[in-house]
């Protein structure tokens, strides 16, 4: 691979914006990425900032899933526990509560696994 602007020089990397080969003279380092010097530096900087923001957003989504998991888990335990306690007296109602509890626990588990994907 050679530099796009100097075909006689070997490229050290690609511009993140235009994917062209860059030699040491043409490459500008922008936030850990390479950019065409005086050409795509600002664009690459904007790109980098966008990526950083996406990562931040993903982390926020992950933590909200975790919060949901904790909430569903607690309410689910409450319902399931109540259902179990009532099982001897009110069978149908108890089963109903138990089912709600189990469903919430399932939702908690699903949210928990979802939150792990964003780590
Ligand atoms: Zn060059
Ligand atoms: Zn470029």
* 84-103 confidence digits (pLDDT tens): 787 777 777 788 888 888 98
Q: 102 in a domain, yes or no?
A: yes
CA–CA distance, 91 with 101 (Å, rounded to integer): 15
Name the pTM for this structure.
0.55
Give the pLDDT band (50/70/90) at residue 43: very high
Question: Do 14 and 26 contact (CB within 8 A), yes or no?
Answer: no
Q: 43 in a domain, yes or no?
A: no
52 alpha carbon – ligand 2 mean position (Å): 20
Q: 19 in a domain, yes or no?
A: no
Q: 63 in a domain, yes or no?
A: yes
The total domain count for the chain is: 1
Specify the DSSP class assigned to residue 27.
E
Q: 6 in a domain, yes or no?
A: no
What is the rounded radius of gyration, in angstroms, for the C-alpha atoms of the chain?
Answer: 27
- Bigger pLDDT: 59 or 36? 36
12 alpha carbon – ligand 1 mean position (Å): 9
Domain that holds residue 75: 58-116
Q: 22 in a domain, yes or no?
A: no
Q: List, in order, residues 6 or more apart from 111 with CB less than 8 Å away.
A: 65, 66, 68, 69, 72
1 alpha carbon – ligand 2 mean position (Å): 15
Q: 85 in a domain, yes or no?
A: yes
Q: Check whether 119 has a pLDDT greater than 70.
A: no
């Amino acid at each position: 691979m050679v530099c796009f602007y100097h075909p006689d020089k070997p490229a050290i990397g690609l511009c993140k914006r235009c994917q062209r080969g860059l030699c040491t003279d043409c490459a500008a380092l922008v936030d850990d990425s390479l950019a065409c010097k005086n050409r795509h530096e600002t664009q690459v900087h904007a790109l980098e900032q966008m990526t950083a923001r996406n990562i931040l957003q993903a982390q926020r989504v992950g933590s909200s899933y975790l919060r949901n998991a904790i909430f569903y888990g607690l309410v689910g335990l409450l319902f399931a526990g109540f259902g179990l306690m009532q099982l001897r007296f009110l069978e149908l109602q108890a089963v109903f509560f138990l089912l709600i509890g189990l469903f919430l626990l399932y939702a908690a588990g699903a949210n928990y696994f979802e939150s792990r994907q964003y780590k």
